[in-house]
Amino acid sequence: MSDPRTNERIRVPEVRLVGPGGEQVGVVRIEEALRLAQEADLDLVEVAPNSRPPVVKIMDFGKFKYETAQKAKEAKRNQSNTILKEVRFRLKIDTHDYETKRKRAEGFLKQGDKVKAMILFRGREQSRPEQGVRLLQRFAEDVAEFGSVESTPTIDGRNMTMVIGPLKTKAEAKAEADARKPSKSREPQAEAGQSAE
């Protein structure tokens, strides 16, 4: 975004002037607006160039630029990127292994990340893609509390993949996690010198 026009760069005969305290001065000639800005030892900044006449404000342009940059920096810091996490399965997966992978995927979804569930086919398993689809559908049902299917199972070479998106955004998940953290109130520690008998 380009900087707004200031002082002598504003080349229109009349402007709608806003004073340094936000007060409406009204429509004045540009020469008058520039004189008032110089008397106040401030800049004349065009804040709404597309209005008729353009709206200008008397302000400290350096301070305005600094505050705008700070707001943009803060907004960038608060935005968070969703990451695509991967969970890999084999077609003949053991129940315990499946549960472990499901729990890991649920953790990713709770944190606001997407999960890419992937089945790796070996040898003759490639001739049975319907088993892979069933396994991925079962997985999607098991994690439905935390996420929903964004892309249905697709075959990609020797693999079958499916993407599950979180129900909560990354920012919501972070805010919820922060709210759940206990306040750091220290309870008196038990005497460390005593040993159990």
For residue 40, give the CATH number of its domain.
3.10.20.80
Structural domain includes residue 1 = no
Residues 97 and 150 in one domain: yes
Same domain, 152 and 168: yes
Task: Clarify whether residues 28 and 65 are in a common domain.
Answer: yes
What pTM did the predictor assign? Answer: 0.49
* pLDDT band at residue 185 using 50, 70 and 90 as cut-offs: very low
Domain that holds residue 122: 84-177
Q: List pLDDT tens digits, range 152-179.
A: 888 888 888 999 988 877 667 777 777 7
**194, part of any domain:** no
Q: Which residues pair with 119 in a beta bridge?
A: 89, 160
Class of residue 125 by CB neighbours under 10 A (exposed 0-12, middle 13-18, buried 19+): middle
DSSP letter string, 80-127: ----EEEEEEETT--HHHHHHHHHHHHHHHHTT-EEEEEEE--GGGGG
Rg (CA), the chain: 30
CB 61 within 8 A of CB 46: no
Residues 160 and 89 in one domain: yes
Q: Quote the pLDDT of residue 195.
A: 46
Structure tokens at 19: 């004073």
Q: Is the pLDDT of residue 190 over 50?
A: no
Domain tally for the chain?
2
Percent residues over pLDDT 90 in the chain: 23
In the 8-state DSSP scheme, what is residue 142?
H
Q: What is the pLDDT of residues 43-66, one digit of tens each?
A: 999 888 888 899 999 999 888 889
104 with 168, same domain: the answer is yes
Point out the domain boundary residue: 77, 102, 118: 77
